[in-house]
Copies of this chain bind each other. A is one copy, B any other.
């Protein structure tokens, strides 16, 4: 299975499992940086391989086989993220970028070695769940959006749901990092932004950023 196919399947999986559920060829194409025409072609091809269901003008849906494949790639991606995060001093954004390439060139055998070394972690540094080698994935998620955090409460960052570079720069600047503890001293929300005081540091989360930082109560 080629890199192009793995990325295509993964994009459908990610779109399907996130809020935005648009898995029509055009939307997948946009995310992969290819033309809609190419995405339509690919969709047709993968349908013949029984990796997804394709019906003209309809959203693409992974078959069980396709889902399994997506989970295998996602597993490798997240294991690499967890591993690089532990081993090296690198930004989450850089780690993501490396994992994006390594995920396609990693045998199941090596993935298992990495997982074993890390003690079979259930989450990566963004807080995203890591599928196990059978393709099973933890769905339990007690985290809430940081924007919805309560004054006076202590939280632990559990999830940074983005692959946007500026977002990670913003996080680095404000010490927002996977598993970091924070105390919310003040919280103020309008429909355009949320202002939060963490310790003595006040940050403003604009609409784009409110829904990608998740925390657990501590």
List residues of A whose CB falls within 8 A of some B CB.
84, 87-90, 94, 97-98, 101-102, 104-107, 109-110, 113-114, 117
Contacts and interface: CB of A to CB of B under 8 A. Distances in A.
A107 B88 CA distance: 14
Contacts of A84: 110
13 contacts: A87-B113, A88-B113, A88-B114, A88-B117, A90-B110, A90-B113, A94-B109, A98-B106, A98-B107, A98-B110, A101-B106, A102-B102, A104-B105
B110 A105 contact: no
Given A87-B117, A117-B88, A101 B105 contact: yes
Nearest to A89: B113
A10 to B, nearest CB: 16
Contacts of A104: 105
